Homo-oligomer: A and B are copies of this chain.
Amino acid sequence: MSAKARLYAIMEKAEEGDRLSRVFDICIVTLIVFNVTMVILETVKGMKEVYGGFVDIFEAVCVLVFTAEYMLRIWCCTADAKFARPIKGRLAFMLTPLAMIDLIAIFPYYVFLLVTVPPNYTLPLRLLRLFRLLKVGRYSHSMRLFGGVIWQKRQELYIVALALMLLLVIVSSLMYFVEHHAQPEAFSSIPKTMWWGIVTLTTVGYGDVFPITPLGKFLGALIAVLGVGMFALPAGILSSGFVEAMQDSDRDHKCPHCGKEIRNPK
């Protein structure tokens, strides 16, 4: 294997038994976790003042590593048959979602370095660094498993999303009609009543808006009892999808008639 192909193998998800690749993955994930933690803690007032110096150095080191990683990835991506052509292949690679995330994750640092950013854009640019978190998806089996569950249940989730949307519109329109006059501020329009609708149907119930008229309370109670079951459907779908996904990797499936293994009986 050429050095380039070996490097590519290391940087991509670890193969079973490839220890160097595994070590590389763990190092990068650890770095990302620490870096993201720092980005989060930076927003706490007073943090920057005390640990500012360390934070700046650590950020520089991280960006250096991530830049090197990004460069190496672009260089060695031609080892993959899909991106084999020197220019076109590398451009195609750079346009893959994962490579875009890599770029966005280091991008803010260089903007701050090169341009004077207007104060309004400082915070969004800083927060853009949180895209580094998405890099974890490349290495984490858990995240891929999760993404797989959501992808496999996309049809169910889509149907439920439609039904919930419909339910929310009906419920909010009814409530708007009933409570509008008693609370012209909290239930000032149907879109605003939808805030009440979602807060109630997901059972969050902050308590910032709730019906106060007897009819509104009666309707609200009815909606809560009936609607809560509907809004719990995504939870049920994801749960069953997750249980299935975990079982698939564990359980062997056999036909009760011929005894042969069934790969994917779903």
Residues on A facing B (Cβ under 8 Å): 36, 40-41, 43-45, 123-124, 127, 130, 133, 136, 140-143, 145-146, 155-156, 158-160, 162-164, 166, 169-170, 173, 176-177, 180, 188-192, 194-195, 198-200, 202-208, 210, 217, 221, 224-226, 228-240, 242-243, 246, 250-251, 255-258, 260, 262-263, 265-266
Contact = CB atoms under 8 A, between A and B. Distances in A.
B229 A44 contact: no
Contacts of A176: 43, 127
Given A166-B133, A191-B43, A202-B203, A238 B233 contact: yes
Contacts of A231: 225, 228
- In the complex, the count of this chain's copies comes to 4
B146 A159 contact: yes
B198 A225 contact: yes
Contacts of A202: 203, 224-225, 228
B40 A190 contact: yes
A163 to B, nearest CB: 5
A163 B142 contact: yes
A261 to B, nearest CB: 8
A221 B224 CA distance: 16
Contacts of A191: 40-41, 43-44
A173 B260 contact: no
A165 to B, nearest CB: 10
